[in-house]
Chains A and B, each alone.
Chain A
């Protein structure tokens, strides 16, 4: 499979997004007029200090939360126009999430964990198995299908997490510090895998990270500080 260059079509388009949390009488402006554009097939890193609003921005793009003001358009859909149920369905079909702490269900084997998003589709048992096998193969862990999370290393767990994120073939992968809990070697393997998913399979990736080494693997890096996107270098 050859490398895929970013196309001109826009995958993520965020305009003047504000997010305010109110805790009692206290008002916290987490995001203050953020504008972001991510094109199809891009691999973008999002950096910033703790509390800068990175995860909040990721949640808004993934449809896990709604902005106080502004528009979030992802994969051509204005998320503000979707009701809760429609947003949940949209998320299942379009977004793959990779978490820092992986969050595999400890009671399920690797293959059952990967199968979870497929349970929401109309695929039959046989088809689900095929998709799971393909995802496992892609992350190089076909031999670990029947292992429980506790029987896997940190790096393997994260690979299974990535397999779960891509098993429904979403166009956008949202990764929240995917290497944050791993040693350098395992972290590099995960970054290699994300890079391959981006270049060989055309996945658009937005990765939140604290690690400049990880951010360096992305095509461009966005910096968020106190809810304001400070720079957006061009690729």
Chain B
């Protein structure tokens, strides 16, 4: 701590240069925060799914349906402790741009399988009691200004209704929130019976099954057994962990993670050159001062540490400001209508703040490494001659 003043004063030697360098680091970390939030959004909650859930889909693709009769057989499978199903509805609310996912589900079973969905008990009972009732995520309810009891008309281009054609109507009975940040709060769930009895075709078919297993370690073995059990049937299955299922879904958009990593690598490489140049220049300008410090008794290691500390403070200040600004920007964008419409999950998660902090310190160490070693190896007599 007693060297902090010396470190700070050295950084402030050329205020404009230091400010510009810090600003460039700030921009890089704001970008880091934004891209982290985007990556999270496109991962579709892969990071927070339950490890004990399996998904069973049709072997050909997820758009092929499976018979409802599989449910009992799946429940009887060794290692499976609970099971339910869901189906993609793909309805439109007023305008195609008002997209949000809807799923007909077995209400109680689904809530049991997904304890992450938090619904006030009174609303839950109201939903269970209403055949046309809907459970909607907080974000979607806020987005459209829906209140409990509101009628929600949905046009279904695929699942046409026997009596009303493409028009379906639901009553908002409950609004859920995610138990933890990052859980998708944009979905709408409604009763499978209402859906199954009303639809023109596909009666008795569901989109996919969700299973809870007793031991995540057995996931591969159970999945293999399930798929073997339905092999050579009309509806062959493909069972994966929920994480793998969501990842495959997310990958349909493209490898967003790799793309964002490539962008960030380019940005940080540039910043490395900028900050590295600042440090190199800063050390070059005060070779004689470093020689004086060594003459006074500052050891080679201490001089190395001081230069590295300067570099880390430079990157640390820029990184901290960038992460803070980036976090605020993500928060602001996440609560703005346009982003919420596009991305169901958009926030700067604590894990990424930690990664950003480590990145800032690493950036400081890497930028300062060469100038610091140069300062460490400086011979006093040579340095003093530069005066």
Cα A64 to Cα B383 in complex, Å, equals: 11
A64 contacts across to B, CB distance below 8 A: 295, 380-381
| Docked-complex contact B292 and A120, CB < 8 angstroms | no
What total of chain B residues lie within 8 Å of the partner, measured CB to CB?
A: 24
Task: Contact check, B12 vs A107: say whether CB atoms are below 8 A apart.
Answer: yes
Q: A65-B381, A103-B288, A105-B292 are in contact. Are A88 and B387 (CB under 8 A)?
A: no
Show the binding face of A for B, using Cβ within 8 Å: 59, 62, 64-65, 84-85, 88-89, 91-93, 97, 99, 101, 103, 105-108, 112, 116-117, 119-120, 125, 164
Within 8 A of A (CB), among B273-294: 288-289, 292-294
Q: Which residues of B sit under 8 angstroms from A62, Cβ to Cβ? A: 295
Contacts of A112 in B (CB 8 A): 5-6, 9
Contact across chains for A125 and B2 when beta carbons are under 8 A apart: yes
Q: Give the complex CA separation of A164 and B297 in angstroms.
A: 12
- Between A and B, 28 residue pairs with Cβ closer than 8 Å are A62-B295, A64-B381, A65-B380, A65-B381, A88-B300, A91-B295, A91-B297, A93-B297, A97-B296, A99-B384, A99-B387, A101-B387, A103-B288, A103-B292, A103-B384, A103-B387, A105-B6, A105-B9, A105-B289, A107-B13, A112-B5, A112-B6, A116-B293, A117-B297, A119-B2, A119-B6, A120-B296, A164-B296
For A120, list chain B residues within 8 Å (CB): 296-298, 302
Tell whether B10 is near chain A: CB-to-CB under 8 Å.
yes
Q: Is the CB of B297 within 8 A of A89?
A: yes
A97, B298: Cβ atoms under 8 Å?
Answer: no
- Chain B residues whose CB sits within 8 angstroms of the CB of A107 once the complex forms: 9-10, 12-13
The interface residues of chain B, by DSSP majority, are classed as helix
Residues from chain A with Cβ under 8 Å of B13 in the complex = 106-107
Question: Are B289 and A84 in contact (CB-based, < 8 A)?
Answer: no
CB pair A103 B289 closer than 8 Å: yes
- Inter-chain contact B296/A117, CB cutoff 8 Å: yes
Residues of B within 8 A of A88 (CB): 294, 297-300
| Contact A116 to B387, CB < 8 A, known contacts A103-B288, A108-B6 | no
Interface members, chain B 91-119 (any A CB < 8 Å):
none
| Complexed CA–CA distance, A216 and B9 (Å) | 41
Closest partner residue, chain A, to B6 (CB atom): A108
Q: Mark B1-26, 1 if CB is under 8 A from A, else 0.
A: 01101100110110000000000000
Q: A84-B300, A107-B10 are in contact. List 6 more A-B contacts (CB 8 A).
A: A88-B297, A97-B295, A99-B387, A103-B384, A116-B6, A116-B293
Q: Mark B373-387, 1 if CB is under 8 A from A, else 0.
A: 000000011001001
**B322-334 to A contact mask, C-beta < 8 Å, 1/0:** 0000000000000
Give, as a whole number of angstroms, the nearest-CB distance from A30 to chain B: 11
